[in-house]
């Protein structure tokens, strides 16, 4: 692969990561807004967040 092709591949990977991160932010913001509209307090949202982190942490060894 020549230098220009490598640079283009790197740029595409960077763009894909940025788009992925933007999608994750949209999902998180939507989830947050939905829970707030349903009356969850900031303290309850924190408890939900901790539970999500715990679930993901337990799932990590299974996916590696």
**Domain chopping of the chain, boundaries:** 3-63
Sign of CA dihedral 6, 8, 13, 17: positive
Start-to-end CA distance of the chain, whole Å, equals 30
**For 25-45, what is each residue's pLDDT tens digit?**
888 999 999 999 999 999 999
Q: How confident is the model at residue 1 (pLDDT cuts 50, 70, 90)?
A: low
State the average pLDDT for the chain: 85
**Sorting pLDDT into bands at 50, 70 and 90, what band is 22?**
confident
pTM for the full predicted model: 0.61
Q: What percent of the chain stands above pLDDT 70?
A: 89
- Does residue 52 register a pLDDT over 70? yes
């Amino acid at each position: 692969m020549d230098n220009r092709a490598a640079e283009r591949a790197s740029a595409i990977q960077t763009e894909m990561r940025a788009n992925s991160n933007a999608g994750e932010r949209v999902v998180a913001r939507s989830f947050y807004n939905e829970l707030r509209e349903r009356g969850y307090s900031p303290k309850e949202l924190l408890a939900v967040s901790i539970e999500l982190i715990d679930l993901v942490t337990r799932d990590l060894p299974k996916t590696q």
